[in-house]
Amino acid sequence: MTVTEPAGIADRGDPATAALAVQNLELAYEVRGVPREVLRDVTFQIRPGEAFGLVGESGCGKSTTAYAALRYLPDNAVVQGGAVLANGVDILKMSNSQLREFRSTQASMVYQDPVQAMNPALKIGRQVAECYQILGQSKSEAMASAGDALRRVKIADPVRVLDRYPHQLSGGMLQRVVIAMALTGDPKLLVLDEPTTGLDATVEAEVLDLVRELRSETNAAILLIAHNLGVIRSMCDRVGVMYAGRIVEEGNAQVVFDNPEHPYTKGLLNAIPRQGVRKTDRALFTIPGNLPLIGTPLPTCVYVDRCPLADDVCRTQVPPVVPVGEGHWSRCHHIDRLAQITEPDAQITEYDIGTDNVIQLNGVSKTFRQRGHDVPALVSVDLGFHEGETLGLVGESGSGKSTLAKTLLGIHSPDSGGNITLRGREMKSKATDRIAESTRAISMVFQNPDSALNRMWTVRRILKRTLTKLTDVQGAEADRRVEELAEAMRLSPRHLDMRPRQLSGGLKQRVAIARAFAGSPDVVVCDEPTSALDVSVQAAILNLLANLQNDERTSYLFITHDIGVVRYLADRIAVMYLGRIMEIGSTDVMFSEVNHPYTEALLSAVPSVDGEAENRIPLTGEIPSPANPPSGCVFHTRCHRVIEGLCEVTEPEMQEISPGHRIKCHLTIEQLSVPVEIKESATLATLAD
Amino acid sequence: MSDDVDVPLEGDPTGGVAASEALATEAIPEAAVVGVDASTERKQVRKERRQLLLRSPGFLFGFSILVMWVLCAAVPSWFTKWGDNEVVRVDGSVIPRVSPRADAWFGTDKIGNDVFARIIYGARPVLIVAVTAAVLAVAAGTLLGLTVGYFRGWVDEVIGRIIEALLSIPVILLAIMVLTTLGRSQTVIILTIAVLFIPVVTRTVRSAVLAEAQLDYVTSAKLRGENSLFVMTREILPNVTGVAVVELTVRIGYAIFTVATLSFLGLNAGDSSAADWGRDLGKQYDTIQAGQWWAAIFPALAIALLVIGVNLVADSLDRVNKS
């Protein structure tokens, strides 16, 4: 392979002084003796103090690059060429003891799942102190240093945290501890591999704030891997866009996201529901096809099979590195034709929403019994939705979203007192007691299609069984319907005889959606159906859901963490906190009028790929335990607008602040419109008891 | 290493297939459909699994041992000219207690039977009893494990306690008690061993079922109104058969030991002169002190070899199952 030294890369300074300089790295995984190429000529540099982000779909080589930066590679990894320089020293050539020295003093890594990164059997204190003992401190010195380390990551009460076991801490708190451990020895390079992916948006925002602050404090170089483009934009100076093991575009993060110069970058950005786009405005942009299989020979442009601009040149010649601006380059033959990639036409679709409630929850509560204590997971929820309407349900983990969905579905029985009606008729609380009509009327799309589909069943069997079970359609007629159903989900007939294992994540989710629609349901509960998928696949699934809704006039209860997604798809949004609905209103008013303080904090926590930086309102502390909810307004312990003497005493009533927009808060519109001031103490992480 | 999605695991037979299927297009499935149809795809998976097994030396070795013993059990006359109870005569005279030599490879025992012939003929009873007992135990244990794992609650409590109680009694002790009470016909031996193994199988299958029952496809089946029997037998059972098959091979190994131990103690089926490894060992071990080791050592080796073969196959199946 001819190696062209891209002009943009050469401009970045002497590789010997970079905190990390990956040079023409070629890496393969050997599977059954056959090397399969994973990284192709990866070259980038991170200067001291700089934050560099890598984005791309799963399987594009981001994580491999991150691990390669510290030489944490699996046994079957074969470096086929190139170098990884840290301050001028090639870590690929280091001896084992040099490498250990390098990892303990110069570089460290923060992993995706903090729970797996910690030893569950040892107290936090011992694990953090161990990092200092390795650096030569005595046991007592190390313990003192551990306390300081936790203070540094803004943990309010380090002494108590040190004395706990990992399972006693929340994910956000644990990730802080992991970051504190990564910072021992003041590394010059910090590699963060999806550090906030498993966390709630509010916690994610806190952790990102922390990393940003630590970065300016320590001047460490950062390599950040994230699939969330908003996170990269808000955190990084520079970004590299990876596809099939190759960096296809690199440049200043803001410039790349505002003016992408590679068809892939453009495709990724267009696939995200952003800038307030709604399903009524236009369909989302999708990238046809899938990432090529690892090890597929890709001698020319790696993106050629999915690129809308691809022509014969792309199929025969390696695209050159084209500088397109200050330190910004792209590997594409047709940068001049990028404007030809257009977003889907704006087509105003009127979603026909009925006026009668299909489903109505009246005063539904659900209390779990746990070790002799009552744990109220849902408290007197009133909620109805209309035919053809999407009701978005948002809130942090533990707010009761899933319990609400499961109660509606009949997986949990609600407490006596409340009821759920389907078209005005009360339904039995348990799914198994419900009449056939109620069973058919409500179905579900689960979050994880791997878990939702029986591995041993073929797609055809999954769909046919559901169809024949829920409807009167039988025999050959059912076979025909199954094929129609698959076609409506854009599944090809050959997928019908496959098992879930043989399908990609997006196709599996299509099967799950097909199953949910087999009985022509009135209501489909979607529990984060796209959170396990890449953005390009997510876009296709969201388009599918929107189209199906338009054709079938189905109502959705759409649970999600992703504000962009809910804004795109939902007609109305309900915000839950500790089992209560705190705010409900149409999507338009939720994003234009004043909000409940909780919603306000939630919305401000979202890192936006559009870069509209806003004042983030931190949510102090952790979500309280539902077993012991705060007095008065349940949100008062974390509220930035709390009124002393009122909020902790009296629980507010739902008040209608505009037609259809209701909030559960004591404050008036005028009071809610005043901008908030954020206290320093609010940025500390405190333990929940 | 973490469970990083980018890293293909060595020897994963399914990863490649799933990924190649991922070529199926996401947004425009009509266009550019590359790939083979589903049935060849599935055959491919089976073929890869088979290849994985055939490439493992442990499996090949274990499997050859098993084939050998099964052949011995099926057609013993292929391997020896002597009957199991036939006294070896050389030039018309009985030759008891001769050490291994050309016309009696493993020597002869006290009575004058050919030890080699006894070994060949001894394969049949132990295989019949052990395999039948293990199959019965796994069948019953799977059904029981499926039931308790699926329903949990008080069913699980009650059966769980019974299982714990049974597991606390040594298998051999209980077997001796039952066999001395009910007599030692082949049926009684088979049923006794089967019943004694049910608790362990139940426990293994139960834990597999518990994991499966957590998965959303089970919830989905319940939501569309499937009854418990359907969910257990059609939805969950196919996903735990792998566990059950591995359990079967493991149990066969243990059953062989149990059968041999019982025969050693004289609790074998059939008449006491019939060829039986455990029984022969029990009757002949006193000759070791007289320096005549062959009559006892060879039956012991036969038992060990069979168990090793079974365990090697069990291990390989388990590994392929988990990959």
Q: What is the pLDDT of residue B18?
A: 37
Which of B2, B8, B17 is facing A36, going by the closest CB pair?
B8
Residue A193 in contact with partner chain B when CB distance is under 8 A: yes
The pLDDT tens digits for A48-57 are: 989 999 998 8
- pLDDT surpasses 90 at A262: yes
* CA angle in degrees (0–180, nearest 5) for A508-B5-A504: 20
**Cα gap A23→A18, rounded to integer Å:** 12
Q: How many residues does chain B have?
A: 323
**Cα gap A270→A249, rounded to integer Å:** 16
- The model's confidence at residue B32, banded by pLDDT at 50, 70 and 90, is very low
**Other beta carbons within 10 Å of B4:** 18
- pLDDT surpasses 70 at A134: yes
Between chains, do B16 and A466 touch, taking CB under 8 Å as contact?
Answer: no
Q: What is the pLDDT of residue B47?
A: 82
Specify whether the CB–CB gap between A128 and A149 falls below 8 A.
yes
For the CA atoms of chain B, what is the radius of gyration?
25
Contact list in A for residue B220 (CB cut-off 8 A) is 444, 446, 452, 515
Contact list in B for residue A501 (CB cut-off 8 A) is 14, 17-18
CA distance B132 to chain A (A): 28
Contact list in A for residue B22 (CB cut-off 8 A) is 290-291, 293, 503-504
From the centroid of its chain, how far is CA A427? 35
Token reading at A187: 């590394």
Which of A32, A63, A443 is facing B6, going by the closest CB pair?
A63
**Cα gap A670→A156, rounded to integer Å:** 33
The pLDDT tens digits for A513-540 are: 999 999 999 999 999 998 888 888 899 9
DSSP state string for A178-189:
HHHHHTTT--SE
Q: Could you say which residues from 364 to 423 on chain A have a Cβ atom under 8 Å away from some Cβ of chain B?
A: 409-411
Which of B8, B29, B30 is facing A29, going by the closest CB pair?
B8
Query: Residue A686, SS3?
Result: coil
C-alpha distances in Å from residue B213, one per residue of A444, B27, B123, B224: 17, 33, 41, 16
- pLDDT surpasses 50 at B142: yes
Sign of CA dihedral A5, A329, A191, A55: negative
- The model's confidence at residue A36, banded by pLDDT at 50, 70 and 90, is confident
Q: What is the pLDDT of residue B25?
A: 35
Between chains, do A72 and B1 touch, taking CB under 8 Å as contact?
Answer: yes
**Cα gap A266→A271, rounded to integer Å:** 9
C-alpha distances in Å from residue A681, one per residue of A19, A155, A670: 34, 11, 26
- For residue A434, what are the contacts with CB-CB under 8 A and spacing of at least 6? A410, A427, A428, B225
DSSP state string for A356-414:
SEEEEEEEEEEEEEETTEEEEEEEEEEEEEETT-EEEEE--TTSSHHHHHHHHHTSSPP
- Mean pLDDT computed over every residue of chain A: 88
Return the CATH fold of B61-322: MetI-like fold (1.10.3720)
**Other beta carbons within 10 Å of B79:** 16
Contact list in A for residue B222 (CB cut-off 8 A) is 411, 431-432
For the CA atoms of chain A, what is the radius of gyration?
26
The owner of tokens 């990164």 is: A117
**What's the CA dihedral at A37, A38, A41, A45 to 10 degrees?**
-160
Between chains, do A492 and B24 touch, taking CB under 8 Å as contact?
Answer: yes
Question: Which of A305, A430, A464, A494 has the highest number of chain B CBs within 10 A, making it the mutation to test binding with B?
Answer: A494
Contact list in A for residue B39 (CB cut-off 8 A) is 497
Between chains, do A499 and B31 touch, taking CB under 8 Å as contact?
Answer: no
For range B33-40, the mean pLDDT: 49
Contact list in B for residue A452 (CB cut-off 8 A) is 215-217, 220
- For residue A407, what are the contacts with CB-CB under 8 A and spacing of at least 6? A364, A366, A378, A413, A414, A420
Q: What is the pLDDT of residue A613?
A: 55
C-alpha distances in Å from residue A414, one per residue of A408, A433, A437: 9, 14, 20
Q: What is the pLDDT of residue B192?
A: 93
Token reading at A453: 């589909």
The pLDDT tens digits for B77-91 are: 898 888 877 787 777
Number of Cα atoms under 13 Å in the Cβ half of residue B274: 14
Q: What is the pLDDT of residue A172?
A: 85
DSSP state string for A279-310:
TTT-PPP---S-PPPTT----S-TTGGG-TT-
Residue A466 in contact with partner chain B when CB distance is under 8 A: yes
- For residue A251, what are the contacts with CB-CB under 8 A and spacing of at least 6? A8, A238, A239, A261, A324, A325, A327, A328, A329
Q: How many residues does chain A have?
A: 689
Q: Which of A194-208, A641-655, B7-21, B260-274 bottoms out in mean pLDDT, i.e. has the lowest?
A: B7-21
- The model's confidence at residue B5, banded by pLDDT at 50, 70 and 90, is very low
Residue A110 in contact with partner chain B when CB distance is under 8 A: no
Token reading at A588: 């338009």
**Cα gap A1→A3, rounded to integer Å:** 6
**Other beta carbons within 10 Å of B3:** 9
Task: Output B25 or A140, whichever has higher pLDDT.
Answer: A140
**Cα gap A528→A452, rounded to integer Å:** 13
CA distance A494 to chain B (A): 6
Residue spans of the domains in chain B: they are 1-55, 61-322
Task: Output A680 or A4, whichever has higher pLDDT.
Answer: A680
- The model's confidence at residue B39, banded by pLDDT at 50, 70 and 90, is low
Considering chain A, what percentage of its residues have pLDDT values greater than 70?
A: 96
Specify whether the CB–CB gap between A327 and A252 falls below 8 A.
yes
CA distance A475 to chain B (A): 18
The pLDDT tens digits for A372-401 are: 888 899 999 999 889 999 999 999 888 889
- The model's confidence at residue A682, banded by pLDDT at 50, 70 and 90, is low
Q: What is the pLDDT of residue B28?
A: 36
CA distance B136 to chain A (A): 24
Between chains, do B23 and A410 touch, taking CB under 8 Å as contact?
Answer: no
**Other beta carbons within 10 Å of A607:** 21
CA distance B312 to chain A (A): 22
Residue A537 in contact with partner chain B when CB distance is under 8 A: yes
Q: What is the pLDDT of residue B287?
A: 87
Strand order of the β-sheet with A321-325 is: A107-110, A189-193, A221-225, A51-55, A238-243, A246-252, A328-331, A321-325
Q: Which of A133-142, A654-663, B80-89, B143-152 bottoms out in mean pLDDT, i.e. has the lowest?
A: B80-89
**Cα gap A167→B196, rounded to integer Å:** 39
* CA angle in degrees (0–180, nearest 5) for B267-B268-B272: 105
**Cα gap A231→B280, rounded to integer Å:** 75
Q: What is the pLDDT of residue B3?
A: 37
Contact list in B for residue A287 (CB cut-off 8 A) is 26-27
Residue A471 in contact with partner chain B when CB distance is under 8 A: no
- The model's confidence at residue A570, banded by pLDDT at 50, 70 and 90, is very high
Query: Residue A498, SS3?
Result: coil
* Best CA proximity match to A553, nearest among A280, A351, A276: A351
Which of A291, A452, A537 is facing B220, going by the closest CB pair?
A452
Which of A31, A36, A444 is facing B223, going by the closest CB pair?
A444
Between chains, do B28 and A58 touch, taking CB under 8 Å as contact?
Answer: no
Between chains, do A443 and B239 touch, taking CB under 8 Å as contact?
Answer: no
**Other beta carbons within 10 Å of B124:** 19
Between chains, do A498 and B27 touch, taking CB under 8 Å as contact?
Answer: no
Between chains, do B38 and A502 touch, taking CB under 8 Å as contact?
Answer: yes
Strand order of the β-sheet with A77-86 is: A34-46, A20-31, A77-86, A89-90
Which of A29, A112, A492 is facing B2, going by the closest CB pair?
A112
Question: Which of B220, B233, B239, B243 has the highest number of chain A CBs within 10 A, making it the mutation to test binding with A?
Answer: B220
Which of A291, A451, A458 is facing B215, going by the closest CB pair?
A451
Specify whether the CB–CB gap between A489 and A513 falls below 8 A.
yes
The owner of tokens 């490439």 is: B55
For range A253-268, the mean pLDDT: 92
Greatest Cα pair distance, chain B, in angstroms, is 87
The pLDDT tens digits for B164-217 are: 898 888 888 989 999 999 988 899 999 999 999 999 999 999 999 999 999 999
- The model's confidence at residue A4, banded by pLDDT at 50, 70 and 90, is very low
**Cα gap B121→B276, rounded to integer Å:** 8
Residue A71 in contact with partner chain B when CB distance is under 8 A: no
- pLDDT surpasses 80 at B33: no
Which of A58, A60, A76 is facing B10, going by the closest CB pair?
A76
- pLDDT surpasses 60 at B20: no
- pLDDT surpasses 70 at B56: yes
Between chains, do A492 and B29 touch, taking CB under 8 Å as contact?
Answer: yes
CA distance A198 to chain B (A): 14
Residue A132 in contact with partner chain B when CB distance is under 8 A: no
CA distance A191 to chain B (A): 14
Q: What is the pLDDT of residue B55?
A: 85
Residue A494 in contact with partner chain B when CB distance is under 8 A: yes
Query: Residue B101, SS3?
Result: strand
Specify whether the CB–CB gap between A124 and A166 falls below 8 A.
yes
Which of A290, A458, A497 is facing B26, going by the closest CB pair?
A290
Phi/psi at B212 (nearest 5 deg)? -65, -40
Specify whether the CB–CB gap between B286 and B169 falls below 8 A.
no
Q: What is the pLDDT of residue B323?
A: 67
Q: At what angle do helices B237-264 and B294-322 cross, to 10 degrees?
A: 170
Q: Of all helices (H) and strands (E), which one includes residue B303? A: helix B294-322
Contact list in B for residue A39 (CB cut-off 8 A) is none
Between chains, do A454 and B32 touch, taking CB under 8 Å as contact?
Answer: no
Q: Which of A265-274, A359-368, A449-458, B14-23 bottoms out in mean pLDDT, i.e. has the lowest?
A: B14-23
Greatest Cα pair distance, chain A, in angstroms, is 77
**Cα gap A569→A542, rounded to integer Å:** 7
Between chains, do A74 and B39 touch, taking CB under 8 Å as contact?
Answer: no
C-alpha distances in Å from residue B255, one per residue of B258, B270, B317: 5, 18, 18
Question: In A135-292, where does DSSP find H-type helix?
Answer: 139-152, 158-162, 171-182, 201-218, 229-235, 253-258, 263-271
**Interface predicted TM-score (ipTM) over 0.90:** no
Q: Which of A292-296, A558-562, B164-168, B184-188 bottoms out in mean pLDDT, i.e. has the lowest?
A: A292-296
* Best CA proximity match to A578, nearest among A622, A618, A529: A622
Q: What is the pLDDT of residue B41?
A: 62
- pLDDT surpasses 50 at B1: no
Q: Which residues of A314-335 are buried (b: 16+ CB within 10 A; e: fewer)?
A: beeebbebbbbeebbbbbbbbb
Q: What is the pLDDT of residue B35?
A: 41
DSSP 8-state symbol, A502? G
- For residue A299, what are the contacts with CB-CB under 8 A and spacing of at least 6? A318
Task: Output A407 or A298, whichever has higher pLDDT.
Answer: A407
- pLDDT surpasses 90 at A16: no
**Cα gap A48→A221, rounded to integer Å:** 5
C-alpha distances in Å from residue B2, one per residue of A67, A70, A111, A276, B9: 10, 14, 8, 36, 12
Q: What is the pLDDT of residue A612?
A: 60
**Cα gap A61→A296, rounded to integer Å:** 13
- Mean pLDDT computed over every residue of chain B: 83
Q: Which amino acid is at B73?
A: A
The pLDDT tens digits for A597-638 are: 999 988 888 877 776 656 778 777 778 888 888 999 999 988
